[in-house]
Structure 1
Amino acid sequence: MTEQLLGPALIEEATKKSGLVWVRGGGPARALWHVWHDGAAHVVGDGPGEQPLPQLADGATAEVTVRSKDKGGRLIVWTATVSELEPHSEAWESAVAELKGKRLNAPDAEQMTERWARECRVLRLEPGAASTTDFPDDSGAAAPLPTTATTRRPAPAGLPRLLLKRKQKRS
């Protein structure tokens, strides 16, 4: 009985305190900023300048990994039921009021909620009945997502000599 009560409380408390959760829909996990409101995590995205919400569809399930805010380590993993909130509905308005307060560096703070209603999706990630506070057996490590970014190339062979000459001239 105690485990049944502690599981939801642990999910709520850990998710509330973490500013970032890792959410896996059907593909790779993505780090998403969120807000805990009314018994569920809420995220906004899929619009210009907002975080991507790939493979998170209305009615689907997702795996949510909550990290420690101070150390960044995995605290808890739970299963969420995803539901998309209808723009300007009562649930949408209350969730967006909370999300707006947590959105950092918004270019259009005054019109942000209207832009979210037009161009973005607001999703509710509610802990499912099958959520457990047990850790999975694997480490959770994953290969990096494909990107156009590249690693630094080796320094040109002549660069050390050029830098050395500058240093000698200053002396």
Structure 2
Amino acid sequence: MDAQLLAALVDEAGRKSDLLWLRYAGLDRARAVWHAWQDGVAYVVAGGGEQPVPGLAEAAEVTVTARAKDSQARLVTWRARAEQLTPGSPEWDTALAALRSERLNATDAANLPDRWASESTITRLVPTGEVLEHPGKMPTDDEAAPPPDSPATTRGKLPWVFHRRPTRGPKLS
């Protein structure tokens, strides 16, 4: 694929997707984040009651998946340059407008800009033009990560639940 077609693919996938999967130094697995796409860049807000994306200050690897819930197929993976925006700058205001329109279920919509300026960071992910995976150039394995360690277990007998149907019939004498 030529560079112009790949840039169009990145832009179209970014506009149509709700989630981006980010992978960068310091993460053990890809992390899903919601974003706003505008003018060929992705904006991500993190921290301060928003999504936790610790350490997103370096270049990131961004994977965009299909919207269909049944497939979740990867569409494109590209390298991004991460730029943290300064509150009050023109870039911040542009990102704020884009993110605010995409932020669903905000409990304090009126105070959102002030809260983001004081508690959160907004990062702009700018495509560098390096496309790592695209249709026709996808890895053959599924790249599924093993589940993280957890103290939770499911061993042992399940607790009795009121109104549950008995598993055995009544004993006949």
1:89-168 alignment, distance < 5 Å: 89-132=89-132, 133=134, 134-136=137-139, 138-146=141-149, 150=152, 152=154, 154-156=157-159, 163-164=165-166
Residue 146 of structure 1, CA deviation: 4.6
Residue 139 of structure 1, CA deviation: 2.3
In structure 2, the partner of 1:55 is 55
Taking the aligned partners of 1:123 and 1:40, their CA distance within structure 2 comes to 10
Per-residue displacement from partner, 1:31-89 (whole Å, max 9, x unpaired)?
A: 000011122111101112x10112211xx211101000013211111111100011111
Unaligned runs of 5+ in 2: none
Residue 106 of structure 1, CA deviation: 1.1
Taking the aligned partners of 2:121 and 2:164, their CA distance within structure 1 comes to 53
TM-score, structure 2 as length reference: 0.81
For these two proteins, the number of residue pairs brought into alignment is 160
Is contact 2:64–2:75 with CA below 8 Å preserved after alignment? Answer: yes
Taking the aligned partners of 2:164 and 2:65, their CA distance within structure 1 comes to 46
Taking the aligned partners of 1:37 and 1:161, their CA distance within structure 2 comes to 52
Taking the aligned partners of 2:72 and 2:164, their CA distance within structure 1 comes to 42
For the residue of structure 2 that corresponds to 1:131, the secondary structure is strand
The code of the aligned residue for 1:142 comes to A
1:58-73 alignment, distance < 5 Å: 60-70=58-68, 71-73=71-73
Unaligned runs of 5+ in 1: none
For the residue of structure 2 that corresponds to 1:129, the secondary structure is strand
Q: CA-atom RMSD, angstroms?
A: 2.6
1:18-97 alignment, distance < 5 Å: 18-26=17-25, 27=27, 28-48=29-49, 50-57=50-57, 60-70=58-68, 71-97=71-97
TM-score, structure 1 as length reference: 0.82
For the residue of structure 1 that corresponds to 2:125, the secondary structure is strand
Taking the aligned partners of 2:94 and 2:14, their CA distance within structure 1 comes to 18
Taking the aligned partners of 1:68 and 1:116, their CA distance within structure 2 comes to 29
